[in-house]
Homo-oligomer: A and B are copies of this chain.
Amino acid sequence: MSHQPHQRVDIPLGERSYPILIGPHLLGDDALLAEHIAARNLLIVTNETIAPLYLRPLEAALQDHRTASVVLPDGEQYKTLDTMSRIIDALVSERMNRDAAVVALGGGVIGDMAGFAAACYQRGIDYIQVPTTLLAQVDSSVGGKTAVNHPRAKNMIGAFHQPRCVIADTATLHTLPEREYRAGIAEIVKYGLIYDPVFFSWLEANVEPLLERVDAAVIHAVRRSCEIKAEVVGVDEREQGLRAILNLGHTFGHAIETASGYGNWLHGEAVAAGMVMAADLSERLGWLPGVDKERTVTLLRRFGLPVEAPRIGAERARELMGLDKKVLDGKLRLVLLRSLGKADVVSDYSGEAFAATMRTHFDAAA
C-alpha cells in the first residue's frame, strides 16, 4: 500500500515543528512512513491489546528500517516508572543509539510512557506517535506532554518532549469499543465549546456520521481538534496560562472520576458531565445564554455521553476538588464559558452560583 489519501496539520514549533497526518490505513502506508520517519533504527512500543491488531502491519510497512518492539501490559495502572524502565531496557538491549527513534503504537498511556522514555533515553531521542484511540488522536498528538504516574499522583513524573511526527490512522478507530470511542468524542466537543462555535455547529450537523465512524467526518473532527489544540498550545507551550482552557470540565470531572473509582467512569465521560456543570455555572453567572447550555447538553446526549454527574454529594465533591471545609470561601480557578466557543480561566466568580451548581449536580434530589 502506498500514499493513502490523508490530511495534514502542521504544528509550528520552530525547529521542533512536526506534521500530524490523518487518514485511514496510514500505518500500513510504507511510502508515507518512509517519507516521515527519518531514523533507521526504531523501537516500537505497544501493549498486549494493540499488538495482535497492528504491530505486524506496522512492522511490515517499516521493512526498510531496523525495528524491534516491546509489548507492555495494557492499562493505566501500568503507567509507572517501572514500566517505563522496561522501554529503556529494550533500547539498551537493542543497542539503540542517539539517532534511533521510539514509535508509540497505542492509546494515551502508551504515548505518554513511550514519549517519556524517548525524552530520557540518552537525554532525548526522537519519537513518533501512532495513536490508535480517538482520545489519543485528538489529545495526545499535540502539546508534547509525556509522563508516568506516581503511586500517589497522576502524571507526576514526565517531560515536555515533542514528537517528530504523528500518524493518526483513522482506520484503527474501527476496532475501538463503542464506549471508548464515544468518550473520545467528549474531548472533540470540548474543542468546539472552548474555541470554535463554527466547529460546534458542524458537530451538531454530523452526529450520525461521527457515530458511524465515517472516514470523512472522523478525519475532519480529528483535524480540527488538533488545529485548535495547536493554536491554544502554540501561544503557551510550557503551560502558563491560556493552555488551561483545555481543561474545561476537568475539575468537576476529576471529582467524578475519583469518587467513582478510576475506571468506572471513563475520563471522557467524566469530562462530558463536567462540561455540563461548567456550562451550568457559566449560565448562572449570566455569561452563557441558556439556549447554548441546552445545545451543549443536547449534543453530548446525542453522542451517548453522560450529562449528569453521579450524586456523590456536593460536600464530598468539594473536598475532591481540593476545597477543604475549613476554607469555605476558598475559590478554585475554573475554566468557564464566556460564550459558546470562548472559554476563560476565572477565579472571581460568585461563590453562591458555584455552590448552586455543586448542589444541583452532586446532591441527591430533595
Contacts and interface: CB of A to CB of B under 8 A. Distances in A.
A175 interface: no
User: Interface size bucket, A side?
Assistant: 20 to 34
A88 interface: yes
Interface of A: 81, 85, 88-89, 92, 119-124, 145, 147, 150, 152-153, 156-160
A159 B81 contact: no
A85 to B, nearest CB: 5
Contacts of A88: 81, 150, 156-157
B123 A92 contact: no
Contact of A123 (B123, B152, B153, B160): B160
B153 A92 contact: yes
A147 B159 CA distance: 14
Given A81-B81, A123-B145, A150-B92, A159 B156 contact: no
Tell me how many chains of this kind the complex includes.
2
A120 B158 CA distance: 5
Contacts of A159: 119-120, 123-124, 159
Contacts of A150: 88-89, 92
A147 to B, nearest CB: 7
A81 B148 CA distance: 13
Given A85-B81, A88-B150, A152-B92, A121 B160 contact: no
Q: Closest 3 interchain pairs by CB? A: A123-B158, A120-B157, A92-B152
A121 B121 CA distance: 17
A269 to B, nearest CB: 26
Nearest to A80: B85
Nearest to A119: B159
Given A81-B81, A85-B81, A157 B121 contact: yes
A156 B98 CA distance: 10
Select the residue from A119, A147, A160 with max chain B CB neighbours within 10 A: A119
